[in-house]
Amino acid sequence: MYETIAFYTFAISTTILFLITVMSKNVLYAMTALASGMVMISGFFFLLGADFLGVVQLIVYVGAVMALYGFAMMFFDATRDIKEKHQNPALVFLLGGLMALMFVVIFSAPIIGDNVQALYPIVEGVGNAQAVGMVLFTKYLVPFEVAALMLLVAMIAGIILAGKKMDYSLTTSEAADEEINVEEKLQADIEREKGEA
C-alpha cells in the first residue's frame, strides 16, 4: 500500500519534472527540474530495495548536473527566458513522438509477455554493495574495464585540451607577449587590407 503510493508519487513527479526540463524556456527551471528529476528517480531504486544503486544515482547525477549548471552559467543569463529557434516544429514533433512510442513499445513488450525476471535477485543477508560488486567483477568485468579505459582516455584528452598553456602566465610570459604581438600584427594587416580594398 505504502509502496504503491510512493511509486505513484515518484512516477508522477518524475514525469512532471522531466516535462518541465523539456518544455521550459528558462534555463534555471530546466536545470533544476532535471536535477530534482534525477533525485526522484533514485527513489525508485530505494523502493526496489537497491539502496546502493539509489545512492550512486543520487551522488553521480547531483555532481553531473552541477557541471551542467556551470555551462548554463557561462552561456546564458539565468534570469531571462531563452528564445528558441524552431525551424520545423512539425518534423520535430513527429520524430520525437515516434521515438517516444518506440521506447514505450520496447520497454513494455517484455512486461506484456511476462518475461521480466530478476537475473540477480536480492539475497538475504548480502549487502547491496557486495551484490553489485560480485556482478560487476565477474560477468560484466570486460564492459566495466572498457568503460574505465574510455573514461581515462577522455580524462587525458580533457587535461591536454585544457592544460596546453597552463604553464605560462598570460601577463608575464614572453611567449604570450609574442602571441599578442602576432595577433596585433594580423589585426593590423586585416585592417590595412580593408583600407586598401
Using CB under 8 A as the criterion, which residues of the chain lie in contact with another protein when the complex forms?
Answer: 26, 28-29, 32, 35, 39, 51-52, 55-56, 58-59, 62-63, 66-67, 69-70, 72-73, 78-79, 125-130
38: cell is 534525477
164: cell is 596546453
Beta carbon nearer to another protein, 79 or 87: 79
Beta carbon nearer to another protein, 28 or 48: 28
| Minimal distance, residue 166 CB to another protein, in Å | 11
| Minimal distance, residue 185 CB to another protein, in Å | 31
Beta carbon nearer to another protein, 60 or 92: 60
| Minimal distance, residue 56 CB to another protein, in Å | 7
| Minimal distance, residue 36 CB to another protein, in Å | 9
Q: Are 128 and 53 in contact (CB under 8 A)?
A: yes
Q: Which long-range contacts (CB under 8 A, 24 or more apart) does 171-177 make?
A: none
Beta carbon nearer to another protein, 132 or 176: 132
| Minimal distance, residue 5 CB to another protein, in Å | 17
How far apart CA 15 and CA 20 sit, in angstroms, is: 9
Place of cell 518544455: 23
Can you name the residues that pair with 26 across neighbouring β-strands?
81
How far apart CA 142 and CA 73 sit, in angstroms, is: 38
Beta carbon nearer to another protein, 79 or 112: 79
How far apart CA 60 and CA 56 sit, in angstroms, is: 6
